[in-house]
Amino acid sequence: MDQSSNLTKPALTLLLILLISSNSPVHAGDIVHRDDKAPTRPGCDNNFVLVKVQTWVNDREEEEFVGVGARFGLTLEAKEKDAHKDRIALADPHDCCTTPKNKLTGEIILVHRGNCSFTTKANVAEAAGASAILIINNRTELFKMVCEADEPDVNIGIPVVMLPQDAGESLKQSLQEKINGRLYSPRRPLVDVAEDASDEYLSTEASYSSGVVEITTTSAIVFIVVASCFLVVLYKKMSYAFIEVLVVLFAIGGAEGLQTCLVALLACFRLFESAAKSFIKVPFLGGVSYLTLGVSPFCVICAVLWAVYRRHHFAWIGQDILGVALIITVIQIIQVPNLKVGTVLLSCAFLYDIFWVFVSKWMFHESVMIMVARGDKSGEDGIPMLLKIPRMFDPWGGYSIIGFGDIILPGLLVAFSLRYDWLSNKSLREGYFLWTMIAYGLGLLITYVALNLMDGHGQPALLYIVPFTLGTFITLGTKRGDLRHLWTKGEPDKICPHVRLQSSEE
């Protein structure tokens, strides 16, 4: 029987698989967000609604963006056919705090956030003859635009919509050509999975960010507790049928992850740039790029072939490809907002490892996690949520394995370090990403050293990885004086200008 060389976190990874596999379009009730906290008054009492911004470049339908309507301004049409298609123009000056120099005759005006209030921009745009105003946020996220208490004129007669930074930049690049747009807020839209923008991710401080889900301290603790319960269920109810369910979930999640990675990779090449930016409407999915349509069949075929041939000796290659793609996608979707949440998450995972080591020894008299990872009592070769590498120099054969949880959980902290370095414009040596990656590598190396010292008995990888990665990050932050920002805000006081559209905040 193949020996497991590393203790996995099957319960943790099952939850992450379910998160990816259950990624579905939002329901109609998700589109309107009634917020009792944001201030309201006559002229400033709209519901926050998600808005579709459909675009045409040289009369050819292109990208479709998702924005959020303001508390003020004219409400949008719900049906696409009732919405007007108008030309999009960039304001001059870009902030639209003063009368634009360019003459407007019903255009949708594109402006930058900053230097004056949202209502001032809207009033200036309406007075200049704009039919609607699109305000580009200075971050890749949506923001609830409300009226200030001392603003007198909030009776605005044009729609006001906030766009995330990446959408605004894409629109600006297209302005070299003739570009038209249509704004509408459907009651029951067909939302593409890649553009799922449920209103539960909207907040005054904009927790929605291009499909990103931020972990909170509470959710980190609950996540580990639920994972322990899943582990017991997997151990007690392990069977052939149960493994088959996990195989199906892994195949679906792996295909989705592979599609996401391939589309992102191919879109970087000029040859595929047009296909990545050209969209077609697909029933039940909405706007889907031609590149996604072209890549999806290949990804599905890869997942199906792995599922069919997973018992063969070469199946580990397909499992690792799907697994790596899924891991990258999960780390892209889930974000640690600050070091405090990252510390809670990894500390809970660290305690999770210690708890199950002792519980396995004193209550079950065998390693519960290794039994689940190998799929004992199921007639299968183990659960699919792990990476496998054959032991080429071991006369007994077998595989060295590492669970997704041992990669994803520290990976969330590594991704946070990279994001902080980018916001701070730190060099590789002066930042945190390089040293956190090195610390993770050292922790993994110590895991395998301990594995050999323990005669091949599976080791709890996070027991070694967490002290290295978290300890290195906190020590460097303390030494450099960044710990307060890392711990609370997760970003520096002054964000580097290369990630901002305007130097001034609202």
Neighbour count for residue 389 (Cβ, 10 Å): 12
Q: What is the pLDDT of residue 503?
A: 35
Task: Specify the pairing of strand 32-33 against strand 48-57.
Answer: antiparallel
- Residue tagged active-site, from 86, 95, 192, 353: 353
CA distance 413 to 55: 37
Distance CA 300, CA 248 (A): 12
Question: Are 246 and 319 in contact, with CB atoms under 8 Å apart?
Answer: no
| Number of C-beta neighbours around residue 317 at 10 A | 12
Whole-number pLDDT of residue 204: 35
Three state DSSP letters for 277-346: HCEEEECCCEEEEHHHHHHHHHHHHHHHHHHHCCCCCCHHHHHHHHHHHHHHHHHHHEECCCHHHHHHHH
Interacting residues of 52 by C-beta distance below 8 A, sequence separation 6+? 64, 65, 66, 80, 183, 184, 185, 186, 189
Q: Please name which of 205, 211, 504, 467 lies closest in space to residue 338, comparing C-alpha atoms.
A: 205
pTM for the predicted model, two decimal places: 0.60
Largest CA distance in the chain: 81
Beta strand 85-90 pairing with 179-184: antiparallel
Q: What is the DSSP letter of 33?
A: E
353 among known catalytic residues: yes
pLDDT for the residue numbered 40: 61
State whether the Cα torsion 278-276-285-55 is positive or negative.
negative
Question: What letter represents residue 245's amino acid?
Answer: V
Instruction: Say if CB 429 and CB 32 are below 8 A apart.
Output: no
Provide the token pair at 410: 């520290």
How many other C-beta atoms are found inside a 10 Å radius of the C-beta of residue 33? 20
**pLDDT score of 476:** 93
Distance CA 202, CA 9 (A): 31
User: Which amino acid type is present at position 401?
Assistant: I
For 379-382, the CB contacts below 8 A with 24+ separation are 379/240, 379/243, 380/240, 380/243, 381/2, 381/310, 381/311, 382/4
The CA distance from 355 to 120, in Å, is 57
pLDDT in tens, the chain (506 residues): 333 334 444 444 554 544 433 333 333 333 344 444 555 667 677 777 888 888 888 878 877 888 888 888 888 887 877 787 888 888 888 888 888 888 788 888 889 888 888 888 888 888 888 888 899 888 777 777 887 767 777 788 888 898 888 888 888 888 778 888 888 887 643 333 333 333 333 433 333 334 567 788 888 888 878 877 877 777 777 777 778 888 898 999 999 999 999 998 998 888 888 888 787 777 776 678 889 889 999 999 999 999 999 888 888 899 999 999 999 988 888 888 899 999 999 998 888 878 877 777 777 666 667 676 666 555 556 678 888 888 777 666 677 778 888 888 899 999 999 988 888 888 888 899 999 999 999 998 988 888 777 655 667 788 889 999 999 999 999 998 889 889 988 877 666 555 443 333 34
To 5 degrees, how large is the angle CA 165–CA 169–CA 171?
Answer: 120
DSSP for 101-163 reads: SS--SSPEEEEES-SS-HHHHHHHHHHHT-SEEEEEPSSSS-------TT-------S-EEEE
Instruction: Return the amino acid letter for 495.
Output: I
The token pair that represents 65 in the structure block: 């963006």
Choose, from 92, 406, 455, 482, the residue flagged as catalytic. 406
Strands 334-335 and 213-214: parallel
95 is catalytic: no
**Residue 412 has what pLDDT?**
92
86 with 106: CB under 8 angstroms? Answer: yes
Return the pLDDT at 413. Answer: 93
Report strand pairing: 279-282 vs 213-214. Answer: unpaired
pLDDT of residue 496: 57
